[in-house]
Amino acid sequence: MAYTIATGRRKTSIARIYLEPGSGTILINGRSFEDYFPTSVKRYVVSQPFNTTNTSGQYNVKVNVKGGGISGQSEAIRLGIARALVKIYAEHKPPMKALGLMTRDPRMVERKKFGKKKARKSFQFSKR
């Protein structure tokens, strides 16, 4: 089997994508696509690169994803699938770039600072 391998990241999630020509099945950590993402919004996010390039049902996708939550994982998978499709066909890049699918979202959780309750929130201040 000739796989196309790509990586997608979002927040603390890392997704490794293995794309091969096939019937369109998506396996995420050994589970089915519908089982792993029960909400239709997350399923739409994952299948967005295929819908944009009109290649839905043409590739089998095997995903290993770890870290983060459901939202970060779905967007990491989306970026990885988009990168894998561009490796196969370079002409898919402009329509996906126009929708922002080729951009890695750099926003991460800000770290907690010492002397503070959270990253920016202070402890309650009492004047008297």
The contacts found for 28-32 with CB under 8 angstroms, 24 or more apart, are 28/63, 28/65, 28/77, 29/63, 29/64, 29/65
pLDDT tens digit sequence for 87-108: 999 999 999 999 999 999 999 9
Q: Which of 119, 29, 125 minimizes the C-alpha distance to 77?
A: 29
pTM of the full structure = 0.91
pLDDT tens digit sequence for 51-87: 999 999 999 999 999 999 999 999 999 999 999 999 9
